[in-house]
Chains A and B, each alone.
Chain A
Amino acid sequence: MRVSDRGPTLRQSVSVGVATGAYGVSFGALAVAAGLTVPQACALSLLMFTGGSQFAFVGVLGAGGSPVAAVATAGLLGVRNGLYGLQMAPLLAAHGPRRLAAAHLTIDESTAVGTAQPTPALRRLGFWATGLAVFALWNATTLAGAVVGDALGDPRRWGLDAAAAAAFLGLLWPRLREGRARAVAAGAVVVAAALTPVAPAGLPVLAAAAVAVVLGWRHGPSRTSRPGVMTQDRS
């Protein structure tokens, strides 16, 4: 493979990496606002390293949910990372420690950029380059955001609670392309809002997931969602 062939792939990987990494700042600040320490916020970006689950984890804790509910919600959002792995594994053909690294870097962005490339070699390059770029920047910006967030005082004064809601909306938005997804989203909002006054924090969110299972189980025309929801779709 000539060096010049790699150019477009690498540029995509880097730009996606920079864009994704940049909003690690908001994650770091939100994590601290939710009551986590700076080392805990950094540990999440280092060891969990998947935006949807990370925001969900701190979101449930910040809303007063139990740690068990936070763990469960993060796990439910992590199921799609497993599906990405199913997709990427035959392509990457990694073994031993490399397979562990590949698994850790299997996120929306690395899968999206990887699968978008025209040849198998470039797909592997896109996956690894994007994964590594996001990993480096996401962790650096998480630390920055967490440190700054600690010094901010009351997070409500800075609108950080609204920022968390907006972050979830931003993650949700690209997924609302088809009718069934929108119906599920609407149902989830109703269920969660209805249960919030009467159920322990964290439970309304998990109940909404049950609604999705019920609505999704029946046959019907549907498109599987495309990856790329840590940030907005770039198509």
Chain B
Amino acid sequence: MTGWTAVLAACALCFALKLGGHLLPERFLSGERVSRVAALVTVALLAALVAVQTLGGGQGSGLGQALAVDARVPALAVAAVALLLRAPFMLVVVLAAGTAAALRATGAVA
């Protein structure tokens, strides 16, 4: 699948999901279970993405990539503190980037 194919396929899929919700009769998903599971799937996906983005080794060798603890970990800790202190989203992201960049600039951390 080329880059553009993936981009357009993902866009089409997301639009189909949005439109599907508008077209379905309201009683179709009346169960509390479905909305509960959907909410939890979102939580799981986001949490997993945090884990992989923070600890993934980057370049894989085909099957799997080693876990790597580097400047991303303290950067994420800074982000978590900022979120606890109710900082705005943009500031949280900037603080994390700045932390990692600063640590890497010292040359002591990867």
Interface residues of A (CB under 8 A from B): 19, 22-23, 26, 35-37, 40, 43-44, 47-50, 52-53, 55-57, 59-64, 66-68, 70-71, 73-90, 94, 99-100, 102-104, 106, 156-173, 175-176, 180-181, 184-189, 191-193, 196-201, 204-205, 207-209, 211-213, 215-217, 222, 224-225, 229, 231-232
Contacts and interface: CB of A to CB of B under 8 A. Distances in A.
Given A163-B96, A165-B50, A231 B89 contact: yes
Interface residues of B, number: 83
B46 A216 contact: no
A104 B16 CA distance: 9
Nearest to A218: B33
B93 A215 contact: no
Instruction: Give the secondary structure class of A's interface.
Output: helix
A156 B59 CA distance: 13
Contact of B88 (A19, A158, A161): A19
Contact of A181 (B28, B43, B54): B43
Given A159-B97, A201-B65, A175 B39 contact: yes
A164 B79 CA distance: 11
Given A80-B38, A170-B92, A232-B89, 18 more contacts: A23-B89, A48-B10, A48-B11, A157-B104, A158-B101, A161-B53, A162-B97, A166-B75, A168-B53, A172-B43, A181-B43, A184-B40, A189-B50, A198-B64, A205-B48, A209-B48, A212-B40, A213-B41
Interface string B29-56: 1001111111111111111111111111
B12 to A, nearest CB: 8
A68 to B, nearest CB: 6
A159 B96 contact: yes
B108 interface: no
B29 A188 contact: no
A197 B3 contact: no
Contacts of B102: 159
B10 A53 contact: yes
Contact of B49 (A71, A103, A168, A176): A168
Contacts of B29: 83, 86
Given A26-B93, A47-B8, A208-B48, A83 B35 contact: yes
B27 to A, nearest CB: 10
Interface string B88-110: 11101111111111101000000
The 9 closest A-B pairs by CB, nearest first: A85-B21, A159-B100, A166-B96, A67-B6, A212-B44, A208-B48, A162-B100, A82-B21, A162-B75
